Structure 1
Amino acid sequence: MTSKRDVESTVEVSLSTRLREAHRQVTRQRISDAAREIFHRDGYRDARLEEVAQLAGLSRSTLYQHFGDKESILTEVAEPYRLGLLALVEEMPGPNPTRNEIDVWIARLARFVATERVPTILIVELANGEDSPAPLQQIGSDLLTALANRYPAFSRALQDGPERTLWRAWADTILREMGWACLRYARDEGAASVAALQVAADLIYLFVHEKFRWRDEDVC
């Protein structure tokens, strides 16, 4: 039979475990918030983890207790953005959206970018540069997979076959143009950023409705 003391001891251990986990999550969030600011200010590649720790109000050793390197911190910083972006893809109209439906979705994307301005600039700039960090390559891969689950055109970009290379080239081009449009909107470039989003919407519409020409002889 379990004694009162045993029950109290179990409750104390459980409470202590929950408090430690809560403290751990708070510390990781402090590091993530500080890293996002330092990465944006100095650029990811030039950012120093000592400055991240200092801004977070922690020692360098505490930072390394939670994150082994800068890339693991970038993964943490990018994760909310990745989840938000994938949730937006789930809201895309399909599988045969009208141009107006795509415009409505692009407006939602613009609102997301406006809310997540700093991570948009950081992630898009890094993702489109040379030697893109692995966490950002994963975002691109996840985004393409999510689109493939909604639209046959994007699905063909991932399937084996003689035309896969061309489908993939178009899919990558559309993702890249969407990224640059989001970057320009995040930078608040005015009418140019709105026009870039409209072009991205045009490309999505044409691609999902397969209105491009696909034969090899059509490629110059």
Structure 2
Amino acid sequence: MTTEAVVRKGRKYDQVLEGARDIFLRDGFEGASVDDIARAAGVSKATLYSYFPDKRLLFMEVATDQCTRQAEEALGTMDFSKPPRTVLKEAARRFLSFIYSDMGQRIFRICVAESDRFPELGRQFYQSGPQTVHRALVAYLAQAQARGEVSIDDLNLAADQFAELCKADLWPKLIFGIQVQFDQADVDRIVDGAIDTFMARYET
């Protein structure tokens, strides 16, 4: 069942989402209670269920909303007229700021944990954020290539490679609980290394 088939939009929809986001961030998916979500949103449980009959659907909607916002913010900062190193640095910083955030981590873990029983969670997460940014990056690289700044045979692969380079070192440490906090110097080291490696391969 998809969210489009069961989620109702109405005047308190945004209010419910905001309250749910706060509780999911505080308590996680399993720990979040419908009572607490309704209280944080300032609505009755009946109103909450009228919008979201299932807690998983509510989390999916919160995750999709957060991913969409992050993607829109990232795309809003991408000036396709600027050179690759400038655009890639901004894109990488936006990308990492989300995947290292509390919400980004919770979304990822829940999507992985529930992927067998509820594969639509992962699909919706991917389509609402990563896929949108991926397409924008492919479009940018195509323009950079037309200007003679890069030479790339497979734009889709190159966009994916850059995203993976941005997850080097820190992401595995985060996922396996080896390190849970990173300062700006840590992030800058990864971003600069990703750009240097990417441009060493594709810069003309």
8 Å Cα contact 2:78-2:91 kept in structure 1: no
Are residues 1:127 and 2:108 paired? yes
* Secondary structure at 1:150 match in 2: helix
Aligned residues: 170
Q: Give the C-alpha shift of residue 71 in structure 1.
A: 3.8
Alpha-carbon distance between aligned partners in 2 of 1:61 and 1:154, rounded to the nearest angstrom: 55
CA 1:146/1:178 → structure 2, altered by over 3 Å: closer, same or farther? farther
1:136-151, aligned counterparts within 5 Å? 136-138=125-127, 139-151=129-141
> What corresponds to 2:77 in structure 1?
91
TM-score (norm. length: structure 2):
0.60
Q: Give the C-alpha shift of residue 33 in structure 1.
A: 1.5
Q: Percent identity?
A: 20
8 Å Cα contact 2:166-2:194 kept in structure 1: no
> What corresponds to 1:156 in structure 2?
155
**Structure 2: runs of 5+ lacking an equivalent:** 1-8, 143-151, 175-179
- Could you tell me which amino acid in structure 1 is paired with residue 135 of structure 2? T
CA 1:143/1:126 → structure 2, altered by over 3 Å: closer, same or farther? same
Q: Give the C-alpha shift of residue 108 in structure 1.
A: 7.2
> What corresponds to 1:8 in structure 2?
none
Are residues 1:202 and 2:193 paired? yes
- Could you tell me which amino acid in structure 2 is paired with residue 83 of structure 1? R
1:1-220, aligned counterparts within 5 Å? 24-25=10-11, 27-78=12-63, 79-94=65-80, 97=83, 99=85, 102-103=88-89, 105=90, 109=94, 113=97, 120-127=101-108, 130=112, 131=115, 133=121, 134-138=123-127, 139-152=129-142, 156-157=155-156, 167=158, 170-174=161-165, 176=167, 180=171, 189=181, 191=183, 193-204=184-195, 206-207=197-198, 209=199, 211=201
CA 1:121/1:73 → structure 2, altered by over 3 Å: closer, same or farther? same
1:36-89 CA-to-partner distances (Å, cap 9, x unmatched) read 111111112432323211322322221111123234323443425523423423
TM-score (norm. length: structure 1):
0.56
Larger Rg: 1
Alpha-carbon distance between aligned partners in 2 of 1:168 and 1:100, rounded to the nearest angstrom: 15
8 Å Cα contact 1:35-1:77 kept in structure 2: yes
8 Å Cα contact 1:86-1:146 kept in structure 2: no
8 Å Cα contact 2:52-2:58 kept in structure 1: yes
1:171-206 CA-to-partner distances (Å, cap 9, x unmatched) read 4514645994xx8xxxx9464x43224412431453
8 Å Cα contact 2:85-2:195 kept in structure 1: no
8 Å Cα contact 1:127-1:137 kept in structure 2: no
